[in-house]
Structure 1
Amino acid sequence: MTARYPSLRRRLPAASLTLSLLLAIAATPAAANEAAADTAADAATSTADEGAATQGSYGGDIVVTARRRQETAQDVPIAMSVVAGEQIDNTGSFNVGRLTQLTPTLQYYSSNPRNTAVNIRGIGAPFGLTNDGIEQGVGIYVDDVYYSRVASSTFDFLDVAQIEVLRGPQGTLYGKNTTAGAINITTNQPTFDFEGKAELSIGNLNFKQAKAAISGPLSDTLAARVAISSTSRRGTIRNVATDRWVQSQDNIGVRGQLLWQPNDDLSVTLSGDWNKQDAVCCASVFVRTGATQRPLNRQYAALAAAQNYVVPSDNPYDRLTDLDANLNAGNKIGGAALRVKWDVGPGTLTSVTAWRFWDWQPENDRDFTGLPIVTKSQNPSQQDQYTQELRYNYTGDRFDFVVGGFYYYQRIDTQGTEAHGPASSRWTLNPTSALANNPAVLNGLTAINTQYLKNTSAALFGQASWKVTDQFTIQPGVRLNYDKKDGFYQRRVFAGDGTPVVFGPTDAITVARLGVFAPQEISPSFSDWNFSYDLTATYKATSDLLFYATYAKTFKSGGINQNGVPTDGANNPILAAATVKPESVNHLEAGVKSEFWDRRITFNLTAFRTDIKNYQANVNNGQFGVLRGYLANAGKVRTQGVEVDFSVRPSERFRAYANGAFTDAKYKRFVDAPCPPELSGGGTGAVIAAPGTPGNSPANCDISGQRLPGVSKLALSFGAEANTESKLFGKDGQFYLGYDGSYRSRFSSNPSPSAYTWIEGYSLSNFRAGFRTESGFDVYGWVRNAFNQNYLEQLSVGPGNTGLIVGLPGDPRTWGGTIKASF
């Protein structure tokens, strides 16, 4: 378990609050999902006044709900990171992407909100274009509501009390979509005491962020809370074609809650939220080229020279692009939820009913150049999601259990338009063909895609804890799940004059057009039953020393290919590729949680191994529009490693933390993987050319034993804060100085490791310094990426096997100031 240091202020839980105050707040409904009268919460509150020597560094008194009930974090046999709400604010970690700097095992990649992947320990979602027909492997939950769209991770956190990042499979309690872990977010809840807070930040790059929340009673039994957040920032990449900054931020969100509590046994919470992004996004920059097996006249250098095209800069850190197609990333998400908690008999019955929507309005430039090759690429989507969870929690002296049921329904509709422009013929077709010199062949060629997905899931689950002795506990869990997915995909193709392009005619122009966009229609369907189970044994050697070991057998639901499938020699869809088998997961984990030096030091150690059979991998075809990408099952994947979480608080004046993860994530068996660019683009003969040499290319490649994309072998986070009591303008308070750093080693940025797509390791440093008072006033300055480290977040292989490699540079140095007040 990792938790960030709270401050020494005793009013709100924060990155810089004293632990005693954090615990008191965490023990109320504002920081947890269960009743405030819970025994663990009472214990945490009573501990808060006992002094630094008995409070714990950040460990045993932090209340979490990882097992759907309130417990202290050091008593939960799960590897987790716990980040308090104000730590998120103070470190600028206002979305999942920035949270990765505080949690080493969490990986986040996003070329745009839809094409976002959130992984833990290197697994979770395939690396590359998102396919709606599969589940994410990391479940995101906000106040018990499952957020199925990973695009939600790109939005700002809104009025968050605490985030728990649970590592490893959580399938029995959090569902079949959590084979890698879960992000459990708890927001601040309505209170019957009037309170409020406001925060304003400004910085370079025209950064502006404002947050506010107010809570209080409407009557003796009714309370309300409203929160709002707004973030805007100029982009970090300059588009010289439009004279406009891109990769900007423009987020706004609002959340409202009503709590009805007629008595101590019943509480009903109605919540609603609405969030919008309207950024100028998303762009890439030229990074390099790499030799492929295409003929030299069909590789990037020759193709660009043929049209007198020169990139605005070959240095990615100049942050220049010249993309000529419209860019947009309009993104709306929201919903409503009703949570009922009723103390019935010896336990608590909880019902969570929710509806969520997602509206995605993108525009992209899929050729990654300033030439009018692909002039339009739009795949807007709309989603409606309905969930119902019912569970019963019982806590006894020797026996605890959670039992429940879950129902989920999702409908996604997508309407796609892709079109080519006047530069496409010369770029896309063989330069030796006369057609390549005729812009009309591909100019205006358009594909219209229509698709929908109906996704239904139902489950029964249960988890029990049997305290065999005062020290030894066993915890079995089970989940029975049914999944059904029905999809539809249709692609119609039209020439520039509106004439349909269909199979049948054999003239050269039609054949050339079909080589770019091919019509297809499929209706894939998948259904299956699955059974998950896990068993955890816990040994509490002393009050501050816990050993545990876990075995889990779980799965990730099978899926369907929603972006089309490959075709056979007669151009018929290969329907066997329309469905993807479920992932079968075997997981072993062992750990120790400990506290020393009168609980001033927390030291947790975890070792794990996860084997996944039928790993769901993304396969990209390499052409512009024949097939954007489809899913296939790799034979076997293994991720294993060791994680260490350490924190120390020798006094109220100083605290520090250091967390690390060594992760060895590999394809154990993947013999028919897509080939990297250096082994792609050539002919189909029997004699294969050397990598990067024009000639014949293999149909597929054996990448068994190679690294999974996106995961570093070594990842670290570390930091410290020191403070001193003082006065400012006659107000008693503390001056403080804080530092948060992170490091990750090199990692692959392509599903099949390529010499051209390794991202070198880098380290980031963030500083903050300010003054705070016990009354809730806090003012500080901050600088992020203080040493202006140049680094790449992601690399992508350009379409068509031309050897083009583009990337997304990480944020440069940013700085600013924040002022906060609460009452």
Structure 2
Amino acid sequence: MKRFKLHTALGLFLTGTGVPVVAIAQTSVTDAGSATASSLSEDIIVTAQKDRQTLQRTPAAITAIQSTEIVTRGITDLVSVQNFVPSARIQAQGASVEVYIRGIGTTNDFANTEPPVAFAINGVYVPREAMSTPFFDIDQIEILPGPQGTLYGRSAIGGIVNVTLKRPTHEWETQAIGEVGNYGLFHGTLVQNIPVSDNFALRAGVDYTNRNGYQKSGASAADDLAGRLSALYTPTENFSAYVWGFLTRKRGTATNLVNKGFNPVTGQVDGKSFLHNDPWDDTLTGPLLEPYTALFGPVKSFPVDYDGLSVGAQFDLTLGDVTISAIPAYTSVDSKINYFLGSLFAVYNAKIKAYSNELRASGDSGRMKWQAGVNVYRQVNSDVTGIPPIFINYNYRNRSKGVGIYAQATYSITDEFRITGGGRYSSDSRTGRGVTAQAAFDYSSNAPWTADVKSNHLDWKVGLEYDATDKVLLYATVQSGYQPATYNSTPDTDSFDNRVDSSTIIAYTAGFKSRMFDNKLTLNSEFFYYDYKNLPLQGYDPDLLFNPIFNSQKVEIYGNQTDIIFRPTRNDNLSASIGYLHARQTEAIVPSSPFFGKAAGLDVSGLQMMNAPTWTITASYSHDFQLSRGYVRAFVGTRYESDFYGSYTHGIGSRQKAYFMSDANLTYHDEQGGWSLGAWIKNIENEAVQSALGLGGTPGPAITFLQAPRTYGLRATFDF
């Protein structure tokens, strides 16, 4: 039977603001957009903990964004999730994305480093270089703070971001999105679902974005095409086979890093200054800057050559109370990117091939829910990086492989009281080889290097849950996590050990989730304390011949996240999220080695961790104006972040001042819920907010990517 459903979106839409994702996820809004008191009691299902649970009954501060919100709030990639997640920074870095959750993240994207926050699609780990894939036809985005050592192991010491794609259904569906805006934006999405038979369905989609560059040179333009195909086969009630794959092709222009911290008018260092009144002006013009242009040439834009492929599957077999799942996956990336670091020309080429497979069993025997599994992975990175003609850093090949065996169970001691226990044994290895220049402008100084490091670790988790009432959940959890050891891409000598030790964390969390006043008010709060040892610190500094990593001795992180949703009427929705984060490098001294340049021997103990603002406050309000045929939804939201640093040394130019960033929308939805038409605007203040940042460069003292400037446009959606 063909389903005929129209859905359109009209809105003056300010997205990118910090509407608390938890708040978004904890209400169930009908397609017509009007939520009743009864609908507010319906909870969405989250799967980030590899189990289907309602969000309000999950003992963790999961942030979840559902498909409708993904479209209407303009979430088109991982970076655009930034403003919806409390105490988090999600920021672009070339073809990669940096994710910091509660202060835990990393700034470099070279082959010898892995992000401490894992990114997964349908529960499958995806390498950092594939994190910039476009988001479309998404069912849900879930962000779970770390550590998640028991269930995920590798690269989840800081948390997990899991994107769930929409599966094929047994109904005919045609969905389309059309969008135009400033900077010559055109964005279109087309999705078709085909019920081939009663037990077999296909789903195909294509997404295309084209826009001019945000930067004066023409850099940071988009010409991105992505296609996806998935199939679902359910021959019996006890077996299902879900297979998916997508291609991503990017042919826009790479984003240049702009200079920060030098005032070209006075010729003096000034941490707040950009080179031009327009911070997105990446050119080097003016008397004081002409010597740099004469030496290195004019700043210009370079085309991106990026191709990505991801394929995966999930096979589920149910035998009585036990379900056995097999989840194989493969990802490849071939990326060639040239860009400017201020006035310096840089190259970043990367080829990645990643394989993984997980075999999992889970069951529910009434009193006890459990799961156990084994995960194996292998990843090969081949890349060439450098800043010719100053120096060259070749990472010819990096191989990562490992195996993890885990188990976790929740036992109901009474109907109201539950206890959870789990553990995971991980064995990981990293090998690499390459060449690193030992002196600037001197290719004869290139020195070959090799590295071979191994690490093993046992993670564990203990948690308690108590249903104080049918609408109040209390919980407390203690769990561990670890990041595998790695290496520095330079020779191992008597004076410098290129091994970087594994890092470990023990996290204590306690909180509550509640609903009150006939479900009109949702109030959730979580307190956390992290004891973090051997945090790998790595500052991106183009003045150095390579970017050395070292282990800080100790890090202390604690804070609170409180999320509030209030719906006083069926037409009004107020939400807010307050994140307090104390993240400090309590013991951290840069090694006294020439490899660390001017930072060698520097004591950075007690400094605020990079990209970890103390306060993150988001607030939003929406109102539905009911019409005789359909309704109009007005939305406005804002996000506040206190000041923070993009460098662990707090170098000049690395400080981002406190800021507000606001978005808004005004959207008409027809009464059938089948189409909408709207206008949106993002970053109303046109605030220049730094993204991934590095120290050094010319003239320096810092260089940074920037978040997008003010953008606006129109959007129409259709759902047949």
| Same structural fold, with TM-score higher than 0.5 when normalized by the shorter chain | yes
SS at match of 1:564: coil
- One-letter amino acid matched to 1:481: S
Task: Identify the residue that residue 542 of structure 1 maps to in structure 2.
Answer: 469
**Aligned mate of 2:507, from 561, 584, 587:** 587
1:483 to 410, 428, 431: 428
Per-residue deviation, 1:785: 1.6
Equivalent position of 1:63 in the other structure:
45
Conserved? CA contact 1:246–1:283, under 8 Å: yes
What's the CA shift for 1:713?
0.5
Q: Deviations over 1:520-563 (max 9, x none)?
A: 111100112110001110011111100000101221111122x3
1:597-612 matches, within 5 Å, as: 597-612=517-532
Q: CA deviation at 1:794?
A: 4.9
Percent identity reads 21
Taking the aligned partners of 1:462 and 1:698, their CA distance within structure 2 comes to 43
Is the Cα contact below 8 Å between 1:642 and 1:661 reproduced in 2?
A: yes
Match of 1:349 in 2: 324
C-alpha contact (below 8 Å) 1:287/1:316 kept by paired residues: no
**TM score, norm. by length of structure 2:** 0.89
Distance (whole Å) between structure 2 residues aligned to residue 331 and residue 317 of structure 1: 27
**Higher CA-based Rg:** 1
Shift of 1:650: 2.4
Deviations 1:738-788 (A, max 9, x none): 112211111112121134321101111111112112241111111112233
Distance 2:394 2:680 in 1: 46
Q: Which has the higher contact order (CA 8 A, sep 6+)?
A: 2
How far 1:122 sits from its partner (Å)? Answer: 0.9
Q: In the TM superposition, what whole-angstrom CA distance separates every residue of 1:317-365 from its partner, at most 9, and x where no partner exists?
A: 3624245366344322222112101111212111101111011101133
The answer as to 2:350 corresponding to 1:381 is: yes
Q: For residue 139 of structure 1, what is the aligned residue in structure 2?
A: 118
Residue equivalent to 1:528: 455
1:616 maps to which residue? 536
> Structure 2 CA distance, aligned partners of 1:705 and 1:609?
17
Partner in structure 1 of residue 716 of structure 2: 819
Secondary structure of the residue aligned to 2:406 is: strand
Structure 1 pair 623/699, CA: closer, same or farther in 2 (3 Å)? Answer: same
RMSD: 2.7
In the TM superposition, 1:302-313 aligns within 5 A as 313=275
Out of 464, 469, 481, the position equivalent to 1:554 is 481
Distance 1:706 1:457, change over 3 A: same
Partners in 2 of 1:319 and 1:446 — Cα distance?
26
What is the match of residue 96 of structure 1? 78
Contact map agreement 1:415 1:451 (CA 8 A) in 2: yes
Q: What is the match of residue 692 of structure 1?
A: none
* TM-aligned CA distance change 1:748 to 1:673, over 3 Å: farther
Match for residue 365 of structure 1 among 329, 335, 340: 340
* TM-superposed deviation, 1:517: 7.4
Q: Which of 30, 33, 36 in structure 2 is aligned with 1:17?
A: 33
2:687 is aligned with 1:708: no
C-alpha distance in 2, partners of 1:215/1:673? Answer: 57
Partner in structure 2 of residue 294 of structure 1: none
Q: CA deviation at 1:7?
A: 9.9
Residues 1:276 and 2:249 aligned together: yes
Match of 1:453 in 2: 398
CA distance 1:17–1:169, change in 2 (3 Å): farther
- Which secondary structure does the structure 2 equivalent of 1:101 belong to? helix
Corresponding residue number in structure 2 for 1:53: 37
Residues 260, 700 of structure 2: 8 Å contact kept? no
| 1:673–1:7 Cα change, 3 Å | same
* Structure 1 counterpart of 2:143: 165
Indicate if the aligned counterparts of 1:522 and 1:573 stay in contact, CA closer than 8 A.
Answer: no
Q: Which residue of 2 aligns with 1:564?
A: 490
Q: What amino acid maps onto 1:332 in structure 2?
A: D
Structure 1 residues 8, 528: CA separation in 2 closer, same or farther (over 3 Å shift)? closer
In 2, the alpha carbon distance for the partners of 1:595 and 1:811 equals: 37
Query: What is the match of residue 339 of structure 1?
Result: 314
Displacement of 1:413 in angstroms is 1.1
- CA deviation map 1:193-238 (0-9, x unaligned): 1112111010111111111211121122210001111112211110
1:720, CA displacement in angstroms?
1.8
Q: Which structure 1 residue ranges, 5 or more long, are not aligned? A: 20-51, 240-244, 292-299, 304-310, 421-444, 494-502, 504-510, 566-571, 682-696
How many residues get paired? 680
Counterpart of 2:170 (choices 169, 173, 192) is 192
Stretch of structure 1 that moved more, 92-101 or 280-289: 280-289
1:435-471 deviations in whole A, cap 9, x for unaligned?
xxxxxxxxxx774725101111101101100001111
Is 1:120 the counterpart of 2:18? The answer is no
Amino acid at match of 2:246: D
Quick one: distance in 1 between partners of 2:663 and 2:279?
Answer: 20
**Aligned-pair distance for 1:724?**
2.3
**Is 1:130–2:150 an aligned residue pair?**
no
Paired residues for 1:772-791 under 5 Å: 772-773=669-670, 774-791=672-689
Aligned to 2:288: none
Per-residue deviation, residues 34-92 of structure 1 (Å, max 9, x unmatched) = xxxxxxxxxxxxxxxxxx233336xx611111221211101110111111112121111
Q: 1:462 aligns with which of 392, 407, 410?
A: 407
Structure 2 counterpart SS, 1:2:
helix
Letter of the structure 2 residue corresponding to residue 415 of structure 1? V
- 2:151 is paired with a residue whose SS is helix
- The structure-2 alpha-carbon separation of the partners of 1:75 and 1:54, relative to structure 1 and needing over 3 Å to count, comes to same
CA offsets 1:277-316 (integer angstroms, 9 cap, x no match): 222112133333399xxxxxxxx9599xxxxxxx995435
Query: Which piece of structure 1 moves more, 588-597 or 246-255?
Result: 246-255
Partner of residue 160 from structure 2, selected from 182, 185, 203: 182
What is the match of residue 315 of structure 1? Answer: 277
CA contact (8 A) 1:8 1:17 kept: no
Q: Is the 8 A contact 1:97 1:153 kept in 2?
A: no
Contact 1:595 1:602 in 2 (8 A): yes
Q: Is the 8 A contact 1:784 1:815 kept in 2?
A: yes
What's the CA shift for 1:674?
Answer: 8.7
* Paired AA for residue 321 in structure 1: T
1:274–1:333 contact (8 Å) kept in structure 2: yes
Amino acid at match of 2:225: I
> What residue identity is the alignment partner of 1:54?
S
CA contact (8 A) 1:602 1:648 kept: yes
Give the structure with the higher percent strand. Answer: 2
Structure 2 partner of 1:204 = 182
CA displacement 1:672-710 (0-9 Å, x = unmatched): 2699xxxx97xxxxxxxxxxxxxxx77421111111111
> Corresponding residue for 2:13?
none
Tell me if structure 1 keeps the 8 A contact 2:697–2:703: no
Deviation at 1:475, TM superposition (A): 0.3
Q: Could you say which residue in structure 1 is the equivalent of 2:11?
A: none
In structure 2, the residue matched to 1:652 is 570
Amino acid at match of 1:361: K
What amino acid sits opposite 1:602 in the alignment?
T
Matched, 1:2 2:56: no
Q: What are the superposed Cα offsets for residues 4-27 of structure 1, whole Å, 9 maximum, x if unpaired?
A: 27999744xxxx8345xxxxxxxx
2:704 & 2:539 partners in 1: Cα distance?
19
Q: Which runs of 5+ in 2 are unaligned?
A: 1-20, 285-297
CA 1:133–1:17 in structure 2 vs 1: closer, same or farther (change >3 Å)? Answer: farther
Contact 1:259/1:267 (8 A) holds in 2: yes
In structure 2, C-alpha distance between the alignment counterparts of 1:698 and 1:185, rounded to whole Å: 38
Query: Judging changes above 3 Å, is the alpha-carbon distance between structure 1 residues 260 and 593 closer, same or farther for their aligned structure 2 residues?
Result: same
Structure 1 residue 649, shift from structure 2 partner: 1.8
- Could you tell me which residue of structure 2 aligns to residue 670 of structure 1? 588
Q: Kindly state the Cα deviation for residue 105 of structure 1 after the two structures are TM-superposed.
A: 2.1
8 Å Cα contact 2:244-2:312 kept in structure 1: yes
* Structure 1 pair 545–512 and aligned structure 2 pair: CA distance change class (3 A): closer
Out of 206, 229, 233, the residue aligned to residue 211 of structure 2 is 233
Q: Specify which structure has the higher proportion of helix.
A: 1
